Chains A and B, each alone.
Chain A
Amino acid sequence: MATPAQLGLMDAASPVMEEMIYFHDHVMLVLILITCLIFYSMLVLISSKYIYRFLTDGHVIETVWTVIPAIILVVVALPSLKLLYLTDELDNPQLTIKSVGHQWYWSYEYTDYYDIEFDSYMLPLGDLSKGDARLLEVDNRVVLPVDTSVRVLVTAADVIHSWTVPSLGLKMDAVPGRLNQLALQCSRVGTFYGQCSEICGANHSFMPIVIEAVPVEVFEGWCDMMLDEESLGSLNMKR
């Protein structure tokens, strides 16, 4: 999750996010080089006392400073387009989950093999434990197996929301009537936080998303617990 005064991107937890970080670094380098070149040129020109008599009709330099920016744009555009199509690739998903946005909570459905569904409300300040993140913790997390290709179908029940998890490089609008597909793959175990990213009313800032990536056996144990009527009944959870 983000730390106080953080400037850069969060650590990647998925292969796609790793590629986004590499792309970001690549473009940042290009921008810094161009900016340094411009500042240097300005400094040199302003501080010089000479005037160039043959300033007009510089055909060679005009060709050079047209071709080189075109090359720079190609150098930026090629990895950009590659990454764009990479984010759309769905690699034979092994699990499908549905994420439905409501005002103002998310509900999740795992109806592939089991019939698991639950709501995920933000924990109010009074219910937080020591060390918990304010405005980010939820009562029921999205538990997913690590290193598994998951298809997330995002939709909404009322107004437009947006399901976001920055450390996985995920953001998808939840639109009523649409089922927007996301490819999710957690490379490591951990807890990954996100927040609703489309204005949806009074509590738009208070409907976070928490993904808990666990080993496959732990995920299976969690599924068994979710299906166990007795334990669910004691927790007042909706199945």
Chain B
Amino acid sequence: MQTRDIPLEVVFEFLPSDDPAFWSRDHTAAILISRKRSSVISSVKTVNFQSSAMAEPEPGTYKVAEAKTAPFDARFPNTNQARYCWQGYIDFHRCTNIRGEDYEPCQYFRHVYRAMCPKSWTEAWDEQREGGTFAGRV
């Protein structure tokens, strides 16, 4: 599915911002010209990502996930972030085992491992935990 399938009213509802933060950046008006919608020119509105609609979590999701991805962790400064993913997964399950499933602060670790870990990895680990063959100490 390509963005050219998105309705026009969503794509072209842009206005230059009055927000000084917008003009303080080195912006030139981005020209949005599509092959399929020729001669349409608009300017890009810089939206604070955290105030966008995506910040509103869907019902049933955890509140900690408000418009923030897993932050930089100084314990894992290098290119390979596999350990960060692993540590988030381990920490979440340790936290819920000790504090219970409903303990809200545990959701931070869930958010970290959901952001960092490929689904295939977490699904494999979930199966291993259910089968009692998981290598980590949770």
Q: When the two chains form their complex, are residues B45 and A151 in contact, meaning their CB atoms are under 8 A apart?
A: no
Q: When the two chains form their complex, are residues A95 and B2 in contact, meaning their CB atoms are under 8 A apart?
A: no
Q: Give the distance to chain A from B126, nearest Cβ to Cβ, in Å.
A: 14
Q: How many A-B residue pairs have CB under 8 A?
A: 121
Contact of A96 with B69 at beta-carbon distance under 8 Å, contacts A112-B114, A218-B3, A226-B1 already known: yes
Q: When the two chains form their complex, are residues A179 and B81 in contact, meaning their CB atoms are under 8 A apart?
A: yes
Q: Is A40 an interface residue (CB 8 A)?
A: no
Q: Give the distance to chain A from B14, nearest Cβ to Cβ, in Å.
A: 7
Q: Give the distance to chain A from B121, nearest Cβ to Cβ, in Å.
A: 8
Across the interface, B10 reaches (CB within 8 A) one of A90, A96, A189, A218, namely: A218
Chain A residues 217-239 with CB under 8 Å of chain B are: 217-218, 220-223, 225-226, 231-232, 235, 237
Q: When the two chains form their complex, are residues A188 and B30 in contact, meaning their CB atoms are under 8 A apart?
A: yes
What secondary structure prevails in chain A residues at the interface with B? mixed
Q: When the two chains form their complex, are residues B54 and A223 in contact, meaning their CB atoms are under 8 A apart?
A: yes
Interface flags for B50-72 (1: CB within 8 Å of A; 0: not) read 10111001000000010111111
Q: Give the number of chain A interface residues (Cβ < 8 Å).
A: 51
Beta-carbon nearest neighbor of A93 in chain B? B69
B11 contact set on A, CB distance < 8 A: 215, 217-218, 221
B65 contact set on A, CB distance < 8 A: 112-113
Distance between Cα atoms of A157 and B120 in the complex (Å): 9
Q: Is B35 an interface residue (CB 8 A)?
A: yes
Contact of A94 with B49 at beta-carbon distance under 8 Å, contacts A140-B1, A223-B54 already known: yes
List residues of chain A with CB under 8 Å of any chain B CB.
88, 90, 92-96, 98, 100, 109, 111-114, 117, 131, 140-141, 143, 145-148, 151, 153, 155, 157, 172, 177-181, 188-189, 212, 214-218, 220-223, 225-226, 231-232, 235, 237
* Cross-chain pairs A/B with CB under 8 angstroms, 13 sampled: A94-B67, A95-B49, A95-B69, A112-B65, A131-B35, A141-B3, A143-B3, A145-B49, A147-B44, A155-B82, A216-B45, A217-B13, A221-B7
List residues of chain B with CB under 8 Å of any chain A CB.
1-3, 5-7, 10-11, 13-14, 25, 30, 32, 35, 44-47, 49-50, 52-54, 57, 65, 67-72, 79-82, 84-85, 114-120
